[in-house]
A and B are shown apart, each in its own frame.
Chain A
Amino acid sequence: DGGITQSPKYLFRKEGQNVTLSCEQNLNHDAMYWYRQDPGQGLRLIYYSQIVNDFQKGDIAEGYSVSREKKESFPLTVTSAQKNPTAFYLCASSVSINNEQFFGPGTRLTVL
């Protein structure tokens, strides 16, 4: 099946630990995105990538890092520098940067 997968669905970590969230797509899309959603709010852009080996900061990049070594994969690392990491994280992709975005199912991260 074609689509976007995120793993794991739920993730628990202790404060001070880095954690990496996975996002994979088999849609042959060039652009990929990471968003954060807090309860009762809209999505906020963390990082986005227009093409392999290239990425740009979004509106709330502090405390996060990404890589784009393969077209299919765009992992997000939540570092210990992120002050409030507990949130719902959503990954998306699109054919190119200005085309329609499609979303994965999300990962709920809880930092204890």
Chain B
Amino acid sequence: GIQVEQSPPDLILQEGANSTLRCNFSDSVNNLQWFHQNPWGQLINLFYIPSGTKQNGRLSATTVATERYSLLYISSSQTTDSGVYFCAVKTNAGKSTFGDGTTLTVKP
């Protein structure tokens, strides 16, 4: 099946810093999402981005489907950005595959 790799696995930032999270996938996909998992386990939708670039406030994402990667940018990070960020992809078969996540810690 398709492999999804996220990097880095852990990231520690000072409040106000910028960061880039990466998601590589091993096969063609027709669906890619970025999620933020909060400390209570809830998965919050950030972006649905099978290709192209989207922005939402301090967050933006870019997916280059032909090169099989996606990037999540967080600018001017805040302590509330802390948590685990997941990338999830779907192939034509409809099955979802998640990466292992990037754990972000933003220090005040």
Contact = CB atoms under 8 A, between A and B. Distances in A.
Interface residues of B, number: 23
Contacts, number: 61
If over half of A's interface residues share one DSSP class (helix, strand or loop), that class is named, otherwise mixed; here it is strand
A101 B31 CA distance: 10
Q: How large is the interface on A (under 10, 10 to 19, 20 to 34, 35 or more residues)?
A: 20 to 34
A33 B96 contact: yes
B88 A43 contact: yes
B33 A98 contact: no
Contacts of A58: 95
Interface of A: 31, 33, 35, 37, 41-45, 48, 50, 56, 58-59, 88, 90, 92, 97-103, 105-106, 108
Given A43-B86, A100-B45, A102-B45, 9 more contacts: A33-B96, A41-B100, A50-B94, A88-B41, A90-B43, A98-B30, A101-B33, A105-B41, A106-B42
